[in-house]
Structure 1
Amino acid sequence: PVGTLIIDKQTGKVMKDLTKHGESFIAAKGGKGGKGNVRFKSSVRQAPNFAEAGGAPQEREVILELKLIADIGLVGFPNVGKSTLLSVVTGARTKIDNYPFTTLTPNLGVVKYKDDSFIMADIPGLIEGAHTGSGLGLDFLKHIERTRLLIHIVDVSGSEGRDPIDDFNMINYELESYSSKLSKKPQIVAANKIDLASDEQYKRFEDYILSLGLRVFPISAPIHQGVSELIDETYKTLVSLPIEVEKYDYFDPSEMEDRDYKKIEYIKDNDVFVLSGKQLDKIFRSTNFNDMGSLRYLYKYIENSGVIDKLKDLGLKDGDTIRINDFEFEYIE
């Protein structure tokens, strides 16, 4: 889905950020095709009975990480009314109930505003310790990174037995602890469940939020009280914000290309000379050991690549054994 990061597991670097619908990316390429037997035809080899095997495909472990892309992120403790607000302003059919963690995965909805629209994401409720992974916090926090503006929803009535100001500060602490980038995102505060709060409760909370230089809107999402004013301010703020493009130090697969493809390793195992190498292995796999022409081609490659000279430097002599993969043959001068 849109918003998926493709990450190379070995380096931890991002290979691709899929931000557009229908976008594609090749994380690992198939091996290069080999040469057919016709390519080895010559005046003395009219019907070669061998061909070159194709190259080995690339192998790569990747991590697929989804970070939803939305304009607005709804954040707050569980059961403060985020899903209700999303359903009211977007018509999204979200699971709504009066208990914590009703929402376990982010929900998206489109807010239609006059002749425009924007995407709103209901981020599952955060709890104390979310930045360390408590309550699936890390899974939830990463989705906030792509948003441009946060609506911080607080149960101003304290119906769950918590202090609204403490709730507000705790969520911001979790955002900052996870990433300084999240703590710097602009916020609009929605004091929800205003119909259940006393005037004193709201005034205390409002004074505190205003002292921080933030805007606060009293709302009751179920009965739509104050919701229009909140969305008006949200749109006004959103259009004034720049559209950020995330920058990554992208991983270049060519950095991992095998520059030792033609290299041959030599090991003397008692009286056996063991050869190994990627190009050598490819040619060896192409060899038809029942065809003399194919065997000559293999020997010609070994001879032209300087293998025999190198083995002689290691003490190779007539009658010694050479091993390539699981195949052994006797060297005859």
Structure 2
Amino acid sequence: MSTTVEKIKQIEEEMAKTQKNKATSFHLGQLKAKLAKLKRELLTPTSSGGGGGVGFDVARTGVASVGFIGFPSVGKSTLMSRLTGQHSEAAAYEFTTLTTVPGQVVYNGAKIQILDLPGIIEGAKDGKGRGRQVIAVAKTCHLIFIVLDVNKPLTDKRVIESELEGFGIRINKSPPNITFRKKDKGGINITSTQQLNHIDNDEIKAVLGEYRIANADVAIRCDATIDDLIDIIEAKSRSYIPVIYALNKIDQISIEELDLLYRIPNAVPISSEHGWNIDELLEVMWDKLNLRRIYTKPKGKMPDYDQPVVLRSTACTVEDFCGQIHKSILEQFKQAIVYGKSVKHQPQRVGLSHELGDEDISEYSRLQCRRYRPVLISPCV
């Protein structure tokens, strides 16, 4: 009986032989849907393998987590030690790091967890080495550093991207603008707001048929591909994660080669051994994480610029801010007085749902009497 990996290879070979045209679009749609289902089956943790494992279950700390992915001996452990001061064993031989090594870097007042993951090899998504466990941890991170050795061909970049994509990680992408809704009856209803150049109705129906979906509404608002549609259907197994390419060991190349490296999108050339360009790496990391700092100002005192309350851009309301300081504030909350870039009027009274901006200053007072002393939160520029 064929294994899941063998079935995947058979379908990939059949797809490579099939040239796309109007007559084969339905068949290609079926093959791609079958391939996605088999990959999900392969990557789903079971009792006999996959999943976390010893050394891969790490307690989450800080406001965000960043994972290091790369081939063995590219300098991940040295970069980890340079950023965090946390010792991660480094040596001149491969597979020095065998488990996840956590550390923490404080940048702009935010505590960010760094995870040094073991080196992966080609075929990791198919279970080679401990690739599945490594990428499974990376899938839970808010940001991934793909660490590359500039002395080795940048084809390594494409190989690692293929491994991550095969595991359901979509690199530097947003979810496609497709709405998919199952219904009880009425058949398949497909609508699109623009011309579709990469997909047709036959392919869409073939994919839905492979998933045994006979009744659904599909609204497409982008020039989607069949892979985009499958990603929406397989939404639970897909992660959209920003990636930075840390091109390490620039101390071993020329200025002309360094100039070429800067033309690679989302890439930051560094030397972890000498500490070169680490500041730029941290700046790009901060931009990709899209965090917001809210400086606290106790009533009658100066703002505290050393220890901001750091919130994620997806959860930065007044309610989130109060919850970060102390849960009891929400129980005592009456109103917020806000001024700065996040409001139109200076000041402006807002409720818990108001979204705060980066580097707002929030004045607050803890209630002695819930009835008479409301909490004041006054962000300003």
TM-score (norm 1): 0.48
TM-score (norm 2): 0.42
Computing the radius of gyration over CA atoms, which structure comes out larger, 1 or 2?
Answer: 1
